[in-house]
A and B are shown apart, each in its own frame.
Chain A
Amino acid sequence: DIQLTQSPSFLSASVGDRVTITCRASQGISSYLAWYQQKPGKAPKLLIYAASTLQSGVPSRFSGSGSGTEFTLTISSLQPEDFATYYCQQVNSYPFTFGPGTKVDIK
């Protein structure tokens, strides 16, 4: 199985900050990676797919990059509604594993 790690696990930031979250895969997955945002008590929301394609309706302050084994999710200017937990998911091969998550909290 492909393992995903995320760093950091927890991030404290202020409104307006630039935030970067890294997701690393245990083996190459080309661009078969998605990013999701989850707020407490809510279902996850798709932000980015195919490593760098912004899902329709998602603000342009979110961006994704990377291929192979290292990927990043960047929020260019953190907004109050962005405080949440972020998960990466590889869709290269079964099982479609999720990363452990990165919680973004208010500084």
Chain B
Amino acid sequence: QVQLVQSGSELRKPGASVKVSCKASGYTFISFAMHWVRQAPGQGLEWMGWINTNTGNPTYAQGFTGRFVFSLDTSVNTAYLQISSLKAEDTAVYYCARAMGAITRLDYWGQGTLVTVSS
């Protein structure tokens, strides 16, 4: 069965970096794009962008350029989200989600990774 398993919660100080992993199983990893979604505490969902798992080409939403990097390791079927120069406002749950279809839909989601930025 399809599963996306994300790495555990992280606590970082402002200015530090963090790398969140999303390990896929149960399907052919490079056949489906991977999207990233952020949810700040008590807030709604915010689409961050996606990465083409076949080519490695990322697309970032405005507001997620510069400090946010999507990457892959296809040898272990894993997608990564790295955030640098962390700020308090980056505190959120970050989700990876598999995308499929000519009309995109996010059909499988990771369990989410809480990143807390606090001094």
Contacts and interface: CB of A to CB of B under 8 A. Distances in A.
Interface in B20-77: 35, 37, 44-47, 49, 59, 61-62
B109 A87 contact: no
A40 to B, nearest CB: 10
A95 B105 contact: no
Given A49-B103, A87-B44, 18 more contacts: A32-B104, A34-B104, A34-B106, A38-B45, A43-B110, A43-B112, A46-B107, A49-B105, A50-B105, A55-B105, A87-B45, A91-B103, A91-B104, A95-B61, A95-B62, A96-B47, A96-B104, A98-B44
Interface of B: 35, 37, 44-47, 49, 59, 61-62, 95, 97, 101, 103-107, 109-112
